[in-house]
Amino acid sequence: MATDADILGRDDVNDMDAILAMTNTDVDEAIHSVQDNADAIFTWDYEKGARPALNKLYEKAKSSQWNGETDLDWSQDVDQEKLVREVGIPTRDAVEAFGIDLSGTPFAKWGEAEWVNYQIQTQNWSLSQFMHGEQGALVCTAKIVETVPWIDAKYYAATQVMDEARHVEVFSKYLDTKMSGHYPINIHLRMLLDDIIADSRWDMTYLGMQIMVEGLALAAFGMAYQTTPDPLLRQLLRYVMSDEARHVAFGVLSLKEYYAELSDKEMLDRQEFAFEAAVRMRDRFLQQEVWERVGVDVPTAIKTFNVGNKNDDPFQQLLFSKIVPNCKKLGLLDANDGWLRKRFDVLGVTQFEDWADTGEEYLEMDAVTQDREAAAS
């Protein structure tokens, strides 16, 4: 059984020095290569519908395609500074009301202009990581088409490749035409994507991307949808979320059948992978790149705002609200005497285990169908 140090490369999951020691040293690279160790699998069994739930999802995906160029109103102007002001600009008094002491830090001298710039940079950073994550999903789903042995899964995964290409396209266009800058991929996100691609087992691509990365993305998109005052971004996120819910459901439907037949040792491998993925995704929200761009020493910024236990951050906890119930449905939470449950306890996210899993949630989020029905009425 691997230790946390074996999985994460550090003894303490919350070792901030070790987390911040990992940085993206290739911020100017345009091409990033990862060794894909998987076998491409052909199946000569073309019986469509052998797995009815996957076939149903495939049929739904075919009727839910949308066009980012024509279904989104790109003529809308976006005033980024106005947007962040509508959401709310932090002030020294407001920050210190949360028990954060800014005296003696660079933030003690910050005025409105600095806080506005920080909010703008945070928005640019968040949308950039969404975009990079969607390209990760594009590559991973293409790999699933190659490696999954079931024809129904290949069919559905092919529709998701199109979905992910569309997501990369619309996030890139929004950043290029409506925002004020891009950020390179966060090192923790890149390490996770590299691990997912490098693993030779087809189900690990599902687990890493469909359950972990897409699960967190679905929660993050939902939070952004609820908080942004920009009608174009809300429309964009609404369409992307309707796709993402299907993607997570695809992972749950496929892995539930497969994991029911795995040994304890094989399940432990998946639990360890899920734990590593969860920590990598949590660590990326330290947003070191933002602090660097606004000219604040990263360790100083983290020390200032990371009060108490970093696992008690309600925002970061809520991002796991889709992941934990799906891990439970797959049997990962409690296999091997609750190995993953204990790790999720440390991360402070186990309270989401009884929230709705993403089995049929995509039906509730089907923005394309809802818009078509509204247009027809």
Residue 376: per-residue pLDDT: 72
Asked: is 57-62+74-376 a CATH 3.30.450.20 domain? The reply is: no
The DSSP secondary-structure symbol of 168 reads H
**Cα maximum dimension of the chain:** 68
Residue 26: per-residue pLDDT: 80
Residue 371: per-residue pLDDT: 85
Work out the angle between the directed axes of helices 112-147 and 214-227 (0-180°, nearest 10): 140
Q: Residue 44 class from Cβ within 10 Å (0-12 exposed, 13-18 middle, 19+ buried)?
A: exposed
Task: Give exposure, 270-307, as e/b (b: 16+ Cβ within 10 Å).
Answer: bbbbbbbbbbbbbbbbbbbbbbbbbebebeebbebbee
Please identify which residue in the block is written with the tokens 């204990």: 342
Low-confidence ranges of the chain (pLDDT < 70): 307-311, 359-360
Give the CA distances from residue 197 to residues 5, 73, 194, 283, 359, in Å, rounded to whole numbers and listed in that order: 22, 35, 5, 20, 25
Residue 305: per-residue pLDDT: 86
Rounded Cα–Cα distance for residues 238 and 135 (Å)? 19
Q: Residue 146 class from Cβ within 10 Å (0-12 exposed, 13-18 middle, 19+ buried)?
A: middle
Q: Do 37 and 304 touch, CB atoms closer than 8 A?
A: no
Q: Give this prediction's pTM.
A: 0.93
What's the CA dihedral at 69, 71, 75, 78 to 10 degrees?
-100
Domain ranges of the chain: 57-62+74-376
Residues 6+ apart with CB under 8 A from 202: 38, 41, 144, 147, 148, 149
Q: Residue 255: name the closest of 239, 271, 277 by CA.
A: 271
Rounded Cα–Cα distance for residues 292 and 314 (Å)? 24
Rounded Cα–Cα distance for residues 250 and 140 (Å)? 14
Residue 359: per-residue pLDDT: 65
Q: Do 333 and 341 touch, CB atoms closer than 8 A?
A: yes
Helices marked H in 199-350 — which ranges?
Answer: 202-205, 214-227, 231-259, 264-284, 288-293, 298-305, 314-318, 323-329, 335-347
Rounded Cα–Cα distance for residues 347 and 316 (Å)? 10
Residue 153: per-residue pLDDT: 96
